[in-house]
Amino acid sequence: MGENKSDVLQGTLDLMVLKTLEAMGPLHGYGVARRIEQVSDNGLSLNQGTIYPALLRLQQRGWIQAEWGVSETNRRAKFYSLSRIGRKKIAEETENWERIAGTMARFLAPSS
Amino acid sequence: MDFIRVLLSRFRGLFGKRKLDGDLEEELRAHIDLAIAENMQRGMKAQKARTMALREFGGLTQVKESYRIQRGLPWFEEAARNIRYAVRQLRKSPGFTVTAIITLALGIGAATSVFSVVDAVLLKPFAFRDPDRLVVLREVQDEAGNERFLVPDNYRHFMRLKNDSKTLEDAAIFRQYGMSISPTGDHPRIVGTVTASPNVFAVLGVRPMLGRGFVNSDAEKGAANVVVLSYEGWQTFFAGDTKAVGQTLRIGGEPATVIGVLGPGVRFPQIALAPKIDFQEGAQDALLYQPFVPGDRDLSADTGNFNYKAIARLKPGVALAQANAELDELQKAYTLSAHLSMHLGAALTPLAQDVASGVSGALWLLFAAVGAVLLIACVNLANLQLARAVNAEGETAVRAALGASRGQLVRSRLTESMVLAIAGGTAGAALAFGGVRLLLALAPADLPRLDEVNVSLPVLAFSSGLSIAAAIVFGVLPALRSLRVAPQAALKTNQTRAANTQQGQRTRGLMVAAQVACTVVLLIVTSLALRSFSRLMSQNRGFDSNRITLAQVDLFAPQYGDFSGNMKAVKLSFADRTLAALNQMPGVQSVALTSVAPLTGETWVDTISRPDHPVPPEQEPRINVRWVNPGYVPTMQIPLISGRNIAAADRANSYVVLISERTAREAFGGEDPVGKRIDGLVPDDKHPMTVIGVVADTRINGLKDTAAMVYVPYWAFTPWTLSFMVRSTRPSDALIPEMRRAIWQIDPQVAIPMLKSMDDQVSESVAADRFQAMLLSGFGAAALLLALLGVYGVLAYSVTLRRREFGIRIALGSGKSALIGLVLRQATYPVLLGTGVGLGVALIALRWVRSLLYQTPVLDPLAIGCSILLLFVAAAIAALIPARRAASIDPMKALRTE
């Protein structure tokens, strides 16, 4: 279906979006992208555009919802916010991610 | 949960695309604007800020594309697009589409409807408990020359076998009658009745739905008259009233108490008395069951009285052969120890096999025929599809060159095949339902279990699956092959097409040959069946059925008595008065009376014993006894060979008989039988009888054979069923209501189960043969049509491909006839090859058809010659159309196009 990124990366991006929305409240796409860049300290070479398929995916799952609003610069923009399901999923996804990260860490640790 | 939500949301994404696209556009523009604004806030110039924003965003178009794909259901959209494309393509070539759909429909419809009948009559188990363990028990009579005849059962023999056998779990003896019943006090009607020993329901393994079955005391002498109704009987006589149990029904004029009702679907099997005796008693479905009360004759007679049928249940785990051997031994031993004058054994037949025995050969033949049609249909489809795929090669190449992926191309071909398959499959299913109705309307009424015929869904699934698979496989395979050809090569059409043509043409030629082979076999079988049927109808019958009207009257009322209380005078008086009344009707030339309606098979079978020439009992010739009036011979216009007809003067001394030529030959050899004496044939009367004349043989019991007959005046014995035959100058339609009125004026309480023209009776007696001939003709025609389409399709296609070549030939001066010959020759090889193979197969396969034909040799040169001629003519016509088109090609046009 035209998805050519690995599932891990996809899941990672999804979780970043969720955490961003959790921390910042309702936010437009540009805001989400900027926030992810800032938090990752530009360590992630991410095309800002790629967050839109991620936003759509989360929306289709019903984890986030969108509505039109007005930005701080008085520009009409679509604002995303966490849904009830999304809030519940964050914990689950976080745990998932930590397990994977932990496993990876063990692989990457210098073997004695 | 997530999955469903995603699917739903994606499904929503299929609609309102314009608005969604606008939203996305707006959202992304907002993103860029926000980025520009922030960049400018950080001090960038407008131009730089914009470039930076776009760079950080990444590929705008790619994001939009992947967003759109993710939003909807791409495979769904592609499928919808493919279906639209396929329908458009199919509509562009209506010839191909219609042919393919007709082929599919014919194959599926014919195969399913015929197999549904085969399934109900031959394969579907009866609705009894463990029907595999049910067997029909008959006695076997050994005759001179090691011949063994199956005969019905004698009551004493049956009881002995039932009690002594260790392999039978239980057995019930029964007879099937038509009984007269008049629930509303109106003129009675005749309904099928089973009179059986009280354990009959236990043997079959069915339980009454309401009330109870029989108990042993119901079958004791003097017990109250009781009746169990079948479900249909309950519906007919009590309109399904649950309070029917305990009510009274008058059967043959005698009141009987209803004690039980059987559930729906319980139908008593139609079992013949013996295979040699055409099934005729109780041919209607049994609506009533009464307990069988053995009479004095049943309990005492040890050599005669073979009048019963028996059904038995094997013990679990007992093999048929084992039970057969045991019963045969028991019966043989009894014959010896009791010093019986005949050699008897016993034989078992599985119930299902026995019921279907008369029709299974014919039904399997029909099934084989329809299988051949299905095969031809599949080959035809394959052929059509192959031709089409090659045709579409150029287009496929264009689409591939424009960037369609291999998957997309294959899916598109697949979709087209599926659209065809679904259309054809639907038409086929409709045809199957209609076909079953048609078969039921055409089928002879005595085909067993006809009321159980339904469209068999597994078969519908099988035949549609097969032809649909053929359509799809042959639609997709060539597409796969054409994909291997590089688009550039395919686009340079001429070389590739020529190459494909060579190879494909051979395949298609072979397919046509296969079709022709199947068609030849089918046509030969069809023409043999038609020849056999026309012989059956056109031969000399020995009687003239023209302008005769036939009424059968059943005297089933207490005043006419039964065998135990023979009310001779009452029956005789009824017969006399009816004959007189019928003679009074205007236009009547003569009136005949006989005891058995013509063309209803062998009945009242007895043997002739001559006091002047005694032979062992098993060598005595078997004859059919008929009780007739003096008008019988003139009414039927049977030629008198020697002696004289029965005359009114014989009434005083009615111990005289007329015999048929065959009886004369079998009983008297070369001697002159007139004046000879034979032992008495009247029931319970040993008075000897004198032969007074010989009449010509007639096919009176069935058109397939003459019968050995003995005609005795009805004054000597008047049976309970009387058939009156009126020869008149007026048509049967006018006579029928008058005859009914005349008979009921004499006694309104007699039943008239049969009242029709003799011609109808003749025609109905061969219903099974006509059914077979008609169906085979239908399949033969279908096969011929399909083969014709096959030949036409291949040639028409090749002519289209070779337009250029033909154009050049014409331009170089080739004549029209030469071109036509060129195309026709192309058809010659597959047709000749197919005919040869078909003849070979026919020679082997016709062996199984022999027993189904009436006096027709299977190697009938006329039938075979006509079939092949018909095929050649059809093939020539099919080939001539494209050949003429080839000859009329305009060379200028042909060379310019492409």
CB contact (8 A) between residue A48 and residue B23: no
Find where tokens 């086929």 sit. Answer: B428
**From B10, B58, B67, residue closest to A47, measured CB to CB:** B58
A30, A38, A70, A96: which to substitute to probe chain B, counting the most B Cβ within 10 Å? A30
Residue B125 carries which side chain, given as an amino acid letter? P
Is the distance from CB of A7 to CB of A14 less than 8 angstroms? Answer: no
Give me the phi and psi of B176, to 5 degrees please: -115, 130
Closest by CA position to B636, among listed B603, B605, B654, B658: B658
CB contact (8 A) between residue A56 and residue B35: no
The model's pLDDT over B245-295, given as tens digits with 9 standing for 90+, comes to 999 888 887 889 999 999 888 888 888 777 655 544 445 678 899 999 888
Q: For residue B836, give Cα distances in angstroms to B107, B383, B839.
A: 24, 21, 5
**From A31, A53, A76, residue closest to B70, measured CB to CB:** A53
Residue A6 has pLDDT above 50, yes or no: no
Report DSSP letters for B46-75, one per residue: HHHHHHHHHHHH--HHHHHHHHHHHHS-HH
Q: What is the mean pLDDT of residues A14-25?
A: 90
More confident residue, B566 or B46: B46
**Rg of chain A (C-alpha set):** 15
Neighbours of B444 (CB within 10 A): 17
Q: What is the mean pLDDT of residues B539-567?
A: 83
- Residue B239: burial class (beta carbons within 10 Å; 0-12, 13-18, 19+): exposed
Is the distance from CB of B86 to CB of B395 less than 8 angstroms? Answer: no
Residue B448 has pLDDT above 90, yes or no: no
Identify the closest residue of chain A to B34 by CA–CA distance. Answer: A30
Identify the closest residue of chain A to B3 by CA–CA distance. Answer: A61
- Measured CA to CA, the distance from residue B400 to residue B307 in angstroms comes to 80
The model's pLDDT over B79-109, given as tens digits with 9 standing for 90+, comes to 888 888 888 888 887 777 888 888 888 888 8
Whole-number pLDDT of residue B692: 96
**Any bridge partners for residue A30, and if so which?**
none
CA angle, corner B126, sides to B124 and B132, nearest 5? Answer: 95
Query: Of B280-289, B675-684, B720-729, which one has max mean pLDDT?
Result: B720-729
- Measured CA to CA, the distance from residue B543 to residue B703 in angstroms comes to 11
Is the distance from CB of B264 to CB of B586 less than 8 angstroms? Answer: no
Is the distance from CB of B487 to CB of B401 less than 8 angstroms? Answer: yes
pLDDT band at residue B196 using 50, 70 and 90 as cut-offs: very high
**Rg of chain B (C-alpha set):** 38
- Measured CA to CA, the distance from residue B57 to residue B36 in angstroms comes to 11
Give me the phi and psi of B196, to 5 degrees please: -140, 160
3-state class of B191 per DSSP? strand
- Residue B236: burial class (beta carbons within 10 Å; 0-12, 13-18, 19+): middle
- Please tell me the distance in Å from A31's CA to the nearest CA on chain B: 9
Given the DSSP bridges, would you call strands B689-695 and B306-314 parallel, antiparallel or unpaired? unpaired
Whole-number pLDDT of residue A104: 86
B156-165, B259-268, B463-472, B650-659: range with lowest mean pLDDT: B463-472
Whole-number pLDDT of residue B496: 43
Is the distance from CB of B442 to CB of B459 less than 8 angstroms? Answer: no
Give me the phi and psi of B279, to 5 degrees please: -65, 125
Find where tokens 């291949």 sit. Answer: B794
The model's pLDDT over B788-799, given as tens digits with 9 standing for 90+, comes to 888 887 787 778
Percent of chain B with pLDDT over 70: 93
A46, A56, A59, A61: which to substitute to probe chain B, counting the most B Cβ within 10 Å? A56
Q: What is the mean pLDDT of residues A79-108?
A: 88
Q: What is the mean pLDDT of residues B557-567?
A: 71
Residue B194 carries which side chain, given as an amino acid letter? V
- Measured CA to CA, the distance from residue B895 to residue B763 in angstroms comes to 63
- Measured CA to CA, the distance from residue B398 to residue B395 in angstroms comes to 5
Residues of B in contact with A78 (CB under 8 A): 23, 26-27, 30
Residue B662 has pLDDT above 90, yes or no: yes
- Measured CA to CA, the distance from residue A33 to residue A53 in angstroms comes to 12
- Residue B847: burial class (beta carbons within 10 Å; 0-12, 13-18, 19+): exposed
The model's pLDDT over B312-330, given as tens digits with 9 standing for 90+, comes to 999 999 999 999 999 999 9
B56, B69, B75, B405: which to substitute to probe chain A, counting the most A Cβ within 10 Å? B56
- Residue B92: burial class (beta carbons within 10 Å; 0-12, 13-18, 19+): exposed
Neighbours of B820 (CB within 10 A): 19
Whole-number pLDDT of residue B560: 83
Q: How long is chain A?
A: 112
User: How many CB contacts within 8 angstroms connect chain A with chain B?
Assistant: 86
Closest by CA position to B139, among listed B324, B371, B271: B324
CB contact (8 A) between residue A60 and residue B6: yes
Residue B656 has pLDDT above 60, yes or no: yes
Give me the interface pTM, i.e. the ipTM: 0.86
**From A34, A47, A76, residue closest to B30, measured CB to CB:** A76
Residue B380 has pLDDT above 60, yes or no: yes
Residue B493 has pLDDT above 60, yes or no: no
Give me the phi and psi of B228, to 5 degrees please: -110, 135
CB contact (8 A) between residue A75 and residue B33: yes
Report DSSP letters for A73-104, one per residue: TS-EEEEEEE-HHHHHHHHHHHHHHHHHHHHH
Identify the closest residue of chain A to B30 by CA–CA distance. Answer: A77
Which residues, including other chains, have CB under 8 Å from residue B549's CB and lie 6 or more apart?
B725, B726, B728, B732, B735, B736, B739, B755, B756, B757, B758
The model's pLDDT over B845-887, given as tens digits with 9 standing for 90+, comes to 888 788 888 888 888 888 899 999 999 999 988 888 888 888 8
- Residue B98: burial class (beta carbons within 10 Å; 0-12, 13-18, 19+): exposed
Residues of A in contact with B71 (CB under 8 A): 56
Q: What is the mean pLDDT of residues B820-833?
A: 87
Given the DSSP bridges, would you call strands B254-261 and B168-181 parallel, antiparallel or unpaired? unpaired
The model's pLDDT over B160-179, given as tens digits with 9 standing for 90+, comes to 899 999 999 999 999 888 88
Is the distance from CB of A80 to CB of A29 less than 8 angstroms? Answer: yes
Residue B54 has pLDDT above 70, yes or no: yes
Residue B676 has pLDDT above 90, yes or no: yes
B54 alpha-carbon distance from chain centroid: 77
Is the distance from CB of B96 to CB of B388 less than 8 angstroms? Answer: yes
Q: What is the mean pLDDT of chain B?
A: 84
- Please tell me the distance in Å from B58's CA to the nearest CA on chain A: 5
Is the distance from CB of B462 to CB of B118 less than 8 angstroms? Answer: no
Residue A2 has pLDDT above 50, yes or no: no
Q: What is the mean pLDDT of residues B51-65?
A: 85
- Please tell me the distance in Å from A51's CA to the nearest CA on chain B: 9
Whether the predicted model's global pTM rises above the 0.90 cut: no
- Please tell me the distance in Å from B480's CA to the nearest CA on chain A: 24
Q: What is the mean pLDDT of residues B383-402?
A: 75
Residues of A in contact with B27 (CB under 8 A): 29, 52, 77-78
Q: What is the mean pLDDT of residues B566-593?
A: 91
Is the distance from CB of B24 to CB of B64 less than 8 angstroms? Answer: yes
- Measured CA to CA, the distance from residue B127 to residue B122 in angstroms comes to 14
Is the alpha carbon torsion for B586, B589, B594, B596 positive or negative? negative
The model's pLDDT over A32-87, given as tens digits with 9 standing for 90+, comes to 988 888 888 777 667 888 888 888 888 888 899 999 988 888 888 999 999 998 88
Whole-number pLDDT of residue B851: 80
3-state class of B543 per DSSP? coil
SS3 per residue for B569-636: HHHHHHHHHHHHHHHHCCCEEEEEEECCCCCCCCCCEEECCCCCCCCCHHHCCEEEEEEECCCHHHHH
Query: Of B85-94, B437-446, B670-679, which one has max mean pLDDT?
Result: B670-679
Q: For residue B562, give Cα distances in angstroms to B189, B304, B343, B606, B768.
A: 18, 18, 31, 20, 34
Is the distance from CB of B121 to CB of B449 less than 8 angstroms? Answer: yes
CB contact (8 A) between residue A29 and residue B31: yes
**From A30, A47, A62, residue closest to B34, measured CB to CB:** A30
Report DSSP letters for chain A, one per residue: ----S-HHHHHHHHHHHHHHHHHH-SEEHHHHHHHHHHHTTT-S---GGGHHHHHHHHHHHTSEEEEEEE-TTS-EEEEEEE-HHHHHHHHHHHHHHHHHHHHHHHHHSPP-
pLDDT band at residue B495 using 50, 70 and 90 as cut-offs: very low
Q: For residue B654, give Cα distances in angstroms to B590, B693, B695.
A: 21, 14, 18
Q: For residue B177, give Cα distances in angstroms to B300, B358, B479, B556, B643.
A: 22, 20, 66, 11, 37
Whole-number pLDDT of residue B305: 78
3-state class of B797 per DSSP? helix
Identify the closest residue of chain A to B63 by CA–CA distance. Answer: A49
- Measured CA to CA, the distance from residue B477 to residue B457 in angstroms comes to 29
pLDDT band at residue B306 using 50, 70 and 90 as cut-offs: confident
